[in-house]
Amino acid sequence: MDITSIIIGSAIGLAVGAIVVFILQKTALKSKSQSILKEAEAEGEAIKKDKIIQAKEKFLQLKEEHESKVRKRERNIQSLEDKTKNKEKSLNQKLGDINRKNKEVDNLKQELDDQMELIENKKKEIEKLHQKQVVELSNISGLQVDEAKTQLMEALKEEARTDAMAYIKEIVDEAKINANKEAKKIVVQSIQRVATEQAIENSVSVFNIESDEMKGRIIGREGRNIRALEAATGVEIIVDDTPEAIILSCFDAVRREVARLALHQLVSDGRIHPARIEEVVAKTKKSLNEEIIETGRRTCIDLGIHGLHPELMKMVGRMKYRSSYGQNLLQHSREVANLCAIMASELGLNVKLAKRAGLLHDIGKVPEDEPELPHAILGMKLAEKNGEKEEVCNAIGAHHDEIEMTNLISPIVQVCDAISGARPGARREIAESYIKRIKELETTALGFEGVIKSYAIQAGRELRVMVEAEKVNDQRADELSFIISQKIQNEMTYPGQVKVTVIREKRAVHYAK
């Protein structure tokens, strides 16, 4: 045997062995897989049986719950049916009661209809009797029905008018007693708690000099110095025979103050010529403007008013150099502010707003451009422009009744303005307007029938009216007093109040000879 045969035989043996091994392994795997499959089938049958049992238990549980819900729902339905039957029974009973009551109402209605028919018959009979009586009375009195009605209505109207005037007088007197008591108390307390000096402002200032020689230097060569000073300040400078004094005349107090301060500086310095005058006047105006701003700021601090716009603060400072009927405007505004604060505190209102409105109520009198508007309306527009609250703006605009008052601070400002201006000596009234007002008062009273004479006394605060006793009785005198006072109140402008007194007297005079 050669080596090749050995190798071939070995290879064939190995191949046969491999085939035998493969066949054996396949047989073993097949038997093993069959056993595993049998085990899996057995386990699946067990799981299937468990799931069927669980499903049956779940089904029984769900069935029991469903039956429980059905039984509960049936009980609820039965309960609702019982309630419905009870309500139906109750409604049937009420319906029976209503039917019985309807029958009773029908019976009552029939009775009422019968009674109304009887009443109508009675009314017709009464109307016939009334017409018969009217005809008989007309025949007896000799008057027609319309004439009798007219006379009766006139008599009733006169009687009603007299009774109404008496009733009105009683109501007015009672209202004055009750209302004026508290009002007077508050006003008197406010006046007592404010002490303000009163000083009349003039339209001229007197500048004192050490000697009359200074007058010539102020006038200058051919009057050039005084002309330059008048042109720069807008003030009329009067140099006359008054010893050691020069008069500065101007309605604008700011210009007068500029002229006075400029003259003082020029006289102190000694250099007086047109160029120097212009320079000093310009510096004086600047310093006075700063002083005005400082005065406004100091006034606000003194009164406890915060957050005021700088433009309004400057106007408050300008009030120092403005007068109203001779009364210093800043002093008047400070007094009004204090009075407003006191009244507002007594009435339980906003004290800060009232004080603010009182201080600003006359700012319309001090703008530099001075447009042609009432000072109250102008002041209101300035306050609105500079961010003041609506209550303050309304109080400024309404303190002379130019616009309608919309809050309680407005009448307080109006009253306090009148209190400050009506103080004795506070204001200087022009003689012509005073005489005109007095004549208007007397003429108003003379326009009524039965008035003989009228006299305005106590500086126009009282009107005495003399009437004829034959034409005016006591009741008509009361009526005249009321009507005249209302006419004065509605048609005239006056400070404070006017008392109207109607005097009726009967004099019997005989002479023994």
Q: Report how far apart, in Å, the C-alpha atoms of 406 and of each of 358, 377, 394 are.
A: 16, 15, 7
**Same domain for 270 and 393:** yes
Strand order in the sheet with 204-208: 204-208, 245-249, 236-238
- Please tell me the predicted confidence (pLDDT) of residue 21: 78
Beta bridge partners of 502: 465
Provide the pairing of β-strand 323-324 with 327-328. Answer: antiparallel
Helix (H), strand (E) at residue 395: helix 390-398
Sign of CA dihedral 298, 302, 308, 314: negative
Under 8 Å CB-to-CB from 32, ≥6 apart: which residues? none
Task: Give the C-alpha separation, 295 to 377, whole Å.
Answer: 25
Task: Give the C-alpha separation, 203 to 250, whole Å.
Answer: 6
Q: Please give the chain's pLDDT, 513 residues, in tens.
A: 567 777 887 778 788 788 877 887 777 777 777 788 888 888 888 888 888 888 888 888 888 888 888 888 888 898 888 888 888 888 888 888 888 888 888 888 888 888 888 888 888 888 888 777 767 766 665 556 566 667 667 767 776 777 677 677 777 676 666 655 565 555 555 555 554 544 444 556 677 777 767 777 777 777 787 788 888 887 877 777 667 777 777 777 777 888 888 888 887 777 778 888 888 888 888 888 888 889 889 988 888 888 888 888 888 888 887 777 667 888 888 888 988 988 888 888 888 888 999 998 888 888 776 667 888 888 898 889 888 889 889 989 888 888 888 888 888 888 888 877 765 555 555 556 667 788 888 888 888 888 988 988 877 788 899 998 888 888 888 888 888 888 888 887 766 678 899 998 877 777 787
**CATH value at residue 374:** 1.10.3210
**Same domain for 472 and 384:** no
Last residue of a domain, one of 387, 421, 455: 421
Beta bridge partners of 312: none
End-to-end, the C-alpha distance of the chain in Å comes to 216
Last residue of a domain, one of 421, 444, 478: 421
Quick one: tokens of 505?
């007297």
Tell whether 352 is covered by a domain: yes
Ranges of H-type helices in 193-252: 213-219, 224-233
Tell whether 241 is covered by a domain: yes
Tell whether 312 is covered by a domain: yes
- Please tell me the predicted confidence (pLDDT) of residue 183: 59
Nearest to 235 by CA among 281, 274, 295, 177: 281
Print the domain residue range for 454: 432-504
Task: Give the C-alpha separation, 274 to 316, whole Å.
Answer: 33
**Same domain for 338 and 235:** yes
Q: Report how far apart, in Å, the C-alpha atoms of 147 and of each of 129, 130, 143, 153, 203 are.
A: 21, 17, 6, 10, 71
Task: Give the C-alpha separation, 413 to 370, whole Å.
Answer: 23
Last residue of a domain, one of 421, 452, 487: 421
Tell whether 9 is covered by a domain: no
Under 8 Å CB-to-CB from 226, ≥6 apart: which residues? 218, 219, 220, 237, 239
Helix (H), strand (E) at residue 479: helix 474-491
**Same domain for 291 and 415:** yes
Nearest to 506 by CA among 475, 469, 479: 469
Cβ(251)–Cβ(214) below 8 Å: no
- Please tell me the predicted confidence (pLDDT) of residue 195: 47
Cβ(452)–Cβ(469) below 8 Å: no
Nearest to 502 by CA among 480, 470, 487: 480
**Same domain for 155 and 257:** no
Nearest to 335 by CA among 427, 428, 430: 427
Tell whether 173 is covered by a domain: yes
Angle at 424 between CA 423 and CA 425, to 5 degrees: 110
Tell whether 367 is covered by a domain: yes
DSSP letter (8 states) at residue 439:
H
Quick one: tokens of 462?
């009282």
Label each residue of 308-344 as H, E or C: CCHHHHHHHHHHHHCEECCEEHHHHHHHHHHHHHHHH
The total of structural domains in the chain comes to 3
**Same domain for 415 and 471:** no
Nearest to 381 by CA among 395, 403, 397, 367: 397
Provide the pairing of β-strand 236-238 with 323-324. Answer: unpaired
- Please tell me the predicted confidence (pLDDT) of residue 198: 45
**Same domain for 475 and 417:** no
**Same domain for 295 and 354:** yes
Tell whether 453 is covered by a domain: yes
Task: Break the chain down into helix, strand, coil percent, rounded to 5.
Answer: 70, 5, 20
**Same domain for 287 and 221:** yes
**CATH value at residue 464:** 3.30.300.20
Tell whether 279 is covered by a domain: yes
Nearest to 225 by CA among 283, 272, 282, 280: 272
**Same domain for 382 and 266:** yes
**Same domain for 275 and 403:** yes
Dihedral of the alpha carbons of 424, 427, 433, 439, in degrees to the nearest 10: -10
**Same domain for 486 and 393:** no
Nearest to 201 by CA among 76, 322, 42: 322
Burial (0-12, 13-18, 19+ Cβ within 10 Å), 380: buried
